[in-house]
Structure 1
Amino acid sequence: MEKTQNQLTEGNILKTLLVFAIPFLIANILQSLYGAVDLFVIGKYCDAASVAAVSTGTQVTQIVTSLVTGLTLGSTVIIGQYMGQKNYRRAAQTIGTTLTVFALVAILLTILMLAFERPLLELLSTPAESFELTMQYVAICAAGNLFVCGYNAISAILRGYGDSTRPMIFVAVACALNIFLDFVFVKYMGLGVSGTALATVISQAVSMVCAIIYLKKSSFIFDFKLKSFRPVPALVRELAVVGIPISFQELMIRISFLYLMTVMNGCGVYAAAVVGISSKYDVFAMLSGTSVANALAAITAHNIGAGKPERARRSLWYGLSFALCAAFLFWLWAQLSPQSMIRVFSDDEQVIAAGVPFFRSNSYDYLLVTIVFCLNGYLNGRQKTVWTMISSSAGALLLRIPLVYLFAKYFGDNLGMLGRIAPTVSGIMACYTLAYVLYEGRKSRQRT
């Protein structure tokens, strides 16, 4: 445990950041392959309605993922601070509390998804051609919520502990199995959209079980005995105070993107397919930002707990520089050859023609949102989660949704114009979040 903590609070800052963040990046790349492989296989062996079904269904299931990852990031931050303070008993109690709470969250989310699946898809203006297929996809994924919550909780716990390598290994197992099952279920068994959903659920279940078995047999800080799954009320409140604002901001962002999907669904199946394909590239292009942001949350928490705020601030600027360099490569690809990006998922010429202007304008968001992610990751590590919640919610509700409405009203089905919404919102958010970080930095230095 001592060694784990020192890896984040001592030594060369850039090396520490990269050693911790790169497994994050690899794990996020692998995890993103879930949806990407689903869409790739559906695009190659099924029709445009199936592509639209997976695209829309993924947007719905990402609501759950966003809620869960937001809450689990609260665990990462709290465990990280206790590890920085060398309070290992409290860290272990936080782990037990986290796992118990998330088992209950998984059950609740499953009930809600199955109960409100149809009205939600109707609200999203899901194309009639793909409605029933989308219903199948969402229902199967809802049945696997326990595994989504379990895997994400264990990964967040390990990262708060100071270990980003083992989550990467666990997700690698799931990704390999998911790819294999996608081809088996879709190409060879002809299960279509249902096959991709089954592949995702089964692979996540296997990943979670493997993680628990491995950790039980190792010298991990938590023993996984039944008596240890006892939530501590004070820690439940602490997790709620830190995690709920993060989860709420993720929910608001996801709702704003669902509204965009609703508008695009109204433009027809090809526009819906374009946004679905673009969302996969959004994930990959922003992986450097999300990975560094999550790493910064853990590193900042450790260093704040250890009384080293200046080291946390320097980690932010190193991480931001690294993330922007990686995001720039995707931006360049989208500017030079958007057609080749779309062809990875669909050979339909109408989808490609509709997607080119959207990809070119939307890709500026790869750079701008990376800045927002990194700044928010640092602030989350400092438990400034109420600020990030207000900031992200304002961006979603006061900027993105009104802009989608106005652009749709005045520019109709001009996908190039709709693609400008995301970078506009992210640019504004980057400005006011950076101003807040600099203000907090000056205030913190004055206190010391």
Structure 2
Amino acid sequence: MAKSKIDMTSGPIMRLIVIFAIPIIFGNILQQLYSTVDTLIIGNYCGATSIAAVGTSSQPIEVFMCIFMGIGAGVSILVSMYTGAQNMEDLGKVVKTSVSFTYLCAIPLAILGWIVTPLILGFMQVPADTISLATAYIRIVFLGLLGNMGYNMNAGILRGLGDSTASFIFLLVSCISNIILDILFIAFFHMDVVGAALATIIAMYMSWIASIVYILKKYNYIGFTILPKVLDRKTLMDIIKLGLPLGLNNSIYTVGHILMQSLINTQGSAFMAGASVAGKIMGISSVAISSFSASMATFAGQNFGAKNYERLYKGGRIVPLYSALTTIVLGIIMFAFSGSLVGLFTNDAEAIKYALLCVKIQVPFQWCYCVLNTILNLSNGIGNVKYPTVLNLLMLWAVRIPAAYLIAFFIDGHYVTAGVSISFVFGMIASLLFYRSKSWKEIRKLSTT
């Protein structure tokens, strides 16, 4: 077995969590850099309209990725459980079935995405000066859907095995490639958003190929295959049982994001560009959120599979606290330097003004989302996917969207992102109720026996 694999079932909990999270943190920084470089180079070589086009493009792509990403999360949970239980036979079935499922989903979705992109952008009320650029960008990115899905599935398998270092290496290769290609296509060949999209998909395919080679070399015992060969019906049902609720949650959540983006789009291209730039800054300040959350999911899955309930109970209480503290520190740093950071992306005075406004509204509340996300991944890790699904839907549809529309109608449309902050606070408070749930009480009971 590879030395980079981390066994979460023994040893100091926070030490293992941090060791596992560090590569993910650097990987998250690289992912932010991955998209940030597009925005930075486009902002300096193309303009605010091109920034707006790229900034509004993430939601349509998420529409097609969201259900698959939920399935991928289900795969990662099963891999971590079978790893903890040392069940190599079922582990192999999950890995082989996930490879086949990736191909089965990616190719048809890429074709469908190319066709319906103009319809989605029309629904999102993208301004006339932005829609043609956004259409070109999204359609090209859809050509890279197989590489995107393939890499994310492989990264989930590796995290479930306890290996978080490899994904960072793949992202490093991808990020460097993306930067070089961005400069080549945009700065030298003046290809605008088309160049940014081409750079993105080429880099993503490189990451996918690198992950395939790595898994075949380091983890040949799990039965990973390059091309689809096995689609075990029972294993697929197990994957869907865990992953489909997460995927449907993601899907409905993404529709909500589109409604939010539509509300942002009605404020004009300058505000769209400012919100996009602010999103990059907030992404950097929230790197601890997904890293600690991924660590928690793997920790919970491995210890649940190993029936190490006392350790699971202890980790479930201390990891959310440490992840929140880390997010607070990063948020303070980003808030302090936000003025200088925004200026790196654009020289447009209106876009800068709106970017700083969005940062001031959202960054102070990101630690709430960190607590929420870590607890929900604890729940996912033990196989209780219903609780996170219900809470996420309530947070979005009962709080975020209504609050944003009320703010736009009664106060000022430029403050709509306050709806996001309000939902973070609500979600954190509601997530704490998990510790009073039946499933957690059962873990607590088992930990004392």
For residue 319 of structure 1, what is the amino acid of its counterpart? V
Residue of structure 2 equivalent to 1:179: 179
Q: What are the within-5 Å matches in structure 2 for residues 399-438 of structure 1?
A: 399-413=399-413, 415=414, 417-438=415-436
Change (3 A) 1:297 1:442: same
Amino-acid identity (%): 24
Q: What are the within-5 Å matches in structure 2 for residues 10-409 of structure 1?
A: 10-225=10-225, 229-333=229-333, 335-409=335-409
Question: Structure 1: which 4+ aligned runs deviate by more than 6 Å?
Answer: 2-6
Q: Secondary structure at the match of 1:435?
A: helix
Q: Secondary structure at the match of 2:8?
A: helix
Normalised TM-score (structure 2): 0.94
**Partners of 1:173 and 1:207 within 8 A in 2:** yes
Deviates more, 1:275-284 or 1:317-326: 317-326
Deviation at 1:69, TM superposition (A): 2.8
Deviation at 1:406, TM superposition (A): 1.3
Change (3 A) 1:133 1:396: same
Distance 2:277 2:257 in 1: 14
Task: Write out per-residue CA displacement over residues 181-212 of structure 1, whole angstroms, 9 at most, x where no aligned residue.
Answer: 11111101101101111001000111111221
**Partners of 1:334 and 1:360 within 8 A in 2:** no
Q: Secondary structure at the match of 2:346?
A: coil
How many pairs are equivalent? 446
Query: Structure 1: which 5+ runs fail to align?
Result: none
Deviation at 1:155, TM superposition (A): 0.7
Distance 1:240 1:261 in 2: 29
**Partners of 1:261 and 1:275 within 8 A in 2:** no
For residue 292 of structure 1, what is the amino acid of its counterpart? F
Deviation at 1:298, TM superposition (A): 1.0
Deviates more, 1:241-250 or 1:142-151: 241-250
Deviates more, 1:82-91 or 1:347-356: 347-356
For residue 174 of structure 1, what is the amino acid of its counterpart? S
Change (3 A) 1:159 1:334: closer
For residue 260 of structure 2, what is the amino acid of its counterpart? L
Q: Secondary structure at the match of 1:364?
A: helix
Deviation at 1:6, TM superposition (A): 6.7
Change (3 A) 1:161 1:6: closer
Q: Secondary structure at the match of 2:163?
A: coil
Deviation at 1:262, TM superposition (A): 0.7
Give the root-mean-square deviation of aligned CA atoms. 2.0
**Partners of 2:47 and 2:346 within 8 A in 1:** no
For residue 125 of structure 1, what is the amino acid of its counterpart? Q
**Partners of 1:319 and 1:374 within 8 A in 2:** yes
Distance 2:94 2:378 in 1: 21
**Partners of 1:270 and 1:351 within 8 A in 2:** yes
Deviation at 1:223, TM superposition (A): 4.0
Deviation at 1:2, TM superposition (A): 9.7
Change (3 A) 1:228 1:408: closer
Deviates more, 1:175-184 or 1:17-26: 17-26
Distance 1:334 1:418 in 2: 21
Change (3 A) 1:446 1:320: closer
Q: Secondary structure at the match of 1:8?
A: coil
Q: Secondary structure at the match of 2:424?
A: helix
Distance 1:169 1:56 in 2: 29
Change (3 A) 1:274 1:232: same
**Partners of 2:285 and 2:334 within 8 A in 1:** no
Distance 1:178 1:322 in 2: 33
**Partners of 1:8 and 1:302 within 8 A in 2:** yes
Distance 2:142 2:254 in 1: 17
Deviation at 1:393, TM superposition (A): 1.3
Deviation at 1:228, TM superposition (A): 7.5
Change (3 A) 1:2 1:11: farther
Deviation at 1:48, TM superposition (A): 1.1
Task: Write out per-residue CA displacement over residues 147-193 of structure 1, whole angstroms, 9 at most, x where no aligned residue.
Answer: 01110111111111111111111111111111111111110110110
Distance 1:227 1:280 in 2: 35
Change (3 A) 1:68 1:107: same
Residue of structure 2 equivalent to 1:444: 443
Distance 1:271 1:434 in 2: 35
Normalised TM-score (structure 1): 0.94
**Partners of 1:17 and 1:315 within 8 A in 2:** no
Deviates more, 1:223-232 or 1:76-85: 223-232
**Partners of 1:252 and 1:396 within 8 A in 2:** no
Distance 1:219 1:444 in 2: 32
Q: Secondary structure at the match of 2:7?
A: helix
Change (3 A) 1:206 1:98: same
Deviates more, 1:41-50 or 1:4-13: 4-13
Distance 2:28 2:269 in 1: 29
Distance 2:25 2:319 in 1: 12
Query: Structure 2: which 5+ runs fail to align?
Result: none
**Partners of 1:82 and 1:88 within 8 A in 2:** yes
Deviation at 1:281, TM superposition (A): 2.4
For residue 443 of structure 2, what is the amino acid of its counterpart? S
Deviates more, 1:155-164 or 1:6-15: 6-15
Change (3 A) 1:238 1:343: same
